[in-house]
Amino acid sequence: MHGGRRLEVLRGIDLTIAQGEMLSIVGRSGAGKSTLLHILGTIDLPSAGRIIFGGRDLSTMSPSQLAAFRNKSVGFIFQFHHLLPEFSALENVMMPALIHRQSPRKAAEKARELLEVVGLQSRLDHRPGELSGGEQQRVALARALVLNPKLLLADEPTGNLDSETSRGIHDLFFRLNRELGTTMLIVTHNPELARSLPRALRMADGLLVGDETAGAEQNDAADAPADAPADAPADEAAKDDETDKAEQPSAPAEAEVPAP
């Protein structure tokens, strides 16, 4: 419900994602991209339908079970890094591990390892305000991976970055996907990133209107002008996240995500 009205945000979503896949979700503002991402990550729950993860039906879990599942199996990275300003890069990456009662020594070892992977081994003691936008997002990415999630969900992770910095983050996603085998779903309106991924989900009006492998058709969709039909992706306003999050899905959705 939203403003007293019942809204159908997602309708008839039927989706299977294999372990280790890397794919984009594209579409106009309000298409339902962020809502789909939040449902797959169990931040939001569908009013109907099922989400199967590694053979487990998440719709049968209690809130506490869902929280435990989400914390262990899913990593999130958003357009804004959400780093804690009073803590160093190392401490920010350690935080999820400490919350899950890992020893400080073990958490620090893992955090250092990941910060080295993302190229920030010389910035461990810097606070977020002392880092560039690209460096902040790299710290956020390392933090998302510190608990070894099977699934990484990224919502416009380069939306606030310049093109050169964005390319560096894109390259990092590809390298981590290859090296760690982490499944990655990336919501983006960046045509370069959408074209470069092996699979693209195209959404419009809460529907999955395209599920395409890399090729000419995907390129055409990613390059669509702003006045293209409603089912084609175009540049989106920053309010997309707020629009999608404000609406609660009320129609069936079925998705199968990778097995551990």
Domains held by the chain: number: 1
| Rounded average pLDDT over 223-232 | 40
pTM of the model: 0.75
Residue 138 in any domain: the answer is no
**Residues in CB range of 171: below 8 A, 6 or more apart:** none
> Higher-confidence residue: 218 or 204?
204
Residue 194 in any domain: the answer is yes
Instruction: Look at residue 250 in the predicted model and tell me its pLDDT.
Output: 39
Structure confidence by residue, pLDDT tens digits, 119-135: 999 999 999 999 998 89
Instruction: Look at residue 3 in the predicted model and tell me its pLDDT.
Output: 52
Instruction: Look at residue 208 in the predicted model and tell me its pLDDT.
Output: 87
Residue 137 in any domain: the answer is no
Going by C-alpha positions, the residue among 244, 228, 255, 242 that lies closest to residue 23 is: 255
pLDDT higher than 80, residue 240: no
User: Which class for 165: exposed (0-12), middle (13-18), buried (19 or more C-beta within 10 A)?
Assistant: middle
The token pair at 44 is 């939001």
Instruction: Look at residue 146 in the predicted model and tell me its pLDDT.
Output: 93
pLDDT higher than 70, residue 237: no
Residue 34 in any domain: the answer is yes
Instruction: Look at residue 233 in the predicted model and tell me its pLDDT.
Output: 38
pLDDT higher than 70, residue 223: no
Instruction: Look at residue 241 in the predicted model and tell me its pLDDT.
Output: 41
The overall average pLDDT reported for the chain is 80
Band of residue 258 on the pLDDT scale cut at 50, 70, 90: low
Instruction: Look at residue 103 in the predicted model and tell me its pLDDT.
Output: 95
CATH number at residue 176: 3.40.50.300
Q: What's the sign of the alpha-carbon dihedral 15, 21, 26, 32?
A: positive
Band of residue 7 on the pLDDT scale cut at 50, 70, 90: low
Three-state secondary structure call for residue 116? helix
Measured CA to CA, the distance from residue 151 to residue 216 in angstroms comes to: 28
Candidate from 45-54, 87-96, 148-157 with smallest mean pLDDT? 45-54
> Higher-confidence residue: 241 or 82?
82
pLDDT higher than 90, residue 109: yes
Instruction: Look at residue 255 in the predicted model and tell me its pLDDT.
Output: 56
Instruction: Look at residue 72 in the predicted model and tell me its pLDDT.
Output: 87
Measured CA to CA, the distance from residue 144 to residue 141 in angstroms comes to: 5
Q: Which of 44-48, 66-70, 158-162, 189-193 has the highest mean pLDDT?
A: 66-70
pLDDT higher than 60, residue 117: yes
Helices 133-145/163-180 angle, 10° precision: 20
pLDDT higher than 80, residue 222: no
Three-state secondary structure call for residue 14? strand
pLDDT higher than 80, residue 41: yes
Residue 167 in any domain: the answer is yes
Going by C-alpha positions, the residue among 225, 245, 246 that lies closest to residue 235 is: 225
Instruction: Look at residue 246 in the predicted model and tell me its pLDDT.
Output: 38
The token pair at 231 is 């089912």
Q: Tokens 């070894």 correspond to what residue?
A: 148
Residue 91 in any domain: the answer is no
Residue 104 in any domain: the answer is no
Three-state secondary structure call for residue 56? strand
Measured CA to CA, the distance from residue 219 to residue 121 in angstroms comes to: 36
Three-state secondary structure call for residue 192? helix
Instruction: Look at residue 116 in the predicted model and tell me its pLDDT.
Output: 92
Residue 221 in any domain: the answer is yes
Domain range holding 213? 14-84+148-245
Measured CA to CA, the distance from residue 148 to residue 257 in angstroms comes to: 16
